[in-house]
Structure 1
Amino acid sequence: MHIDLKLPQGATFSDLRVRRCDDDAIDLDMDLVHRICLLNGWDFEKVRANPGPVISTILSVWYKQHLAQGGAPDAVMESFRLQSEIAQGQTPH
């Protein structure tokens, strides 16, 4: 499935400042997420009420683009990838 994610001009993946919280949740720059929502016609208040699906989409789509364009791996995103592979019974890469 291909998702055409519109991103703010000049923004880079690292601008999201993705970090893991103590309770295994994540924290990121919600101002940038708000801008992404506006660009893509998404209701930011609905996203704030139920962030999981949209935030997951933004992170996965943008991170794949970031890597494909030669961007450096992000430690938090790589830990998510590793966790996902282990949960699916795959051998981590």
Structure 2
Amino acid sequence: TEVLGFLPRGSIRLGGIDAPPPARRVRFMGVNQRHHSLALCPAPPVDEPGLVHLMMEAETLDAVGQALDRVAKLGFSISSTLG
């Protein structure tokens, strides 16, 4: 994270403070004024790697639409989209 300039911005414990061990902790990292740009959390083994959440900034709404079009063209599934 140092190479990319990420700084620690805090963490939360999944399940709350009373969660039984082994509690999972989400660690937040940031590179700008936003609270975080990256969150890291251990996850149980799954069949394929995955991504839970992604936030991007775009200059225009058209650029957002073009990005969504590319994602669809490449065959990725999206569980939630705009709106």
TM range (shorter): under 0.3
TM norm structure 2: 0.26
Larger helix share, 1 or 2? 1
Which gives a bigger RCO, structure 1 or 2 (Cα 8 Å, sep 6+)?
A: 1
Q: Which has the larger radius of gyration?
A: 2
Bigger strand share: 2
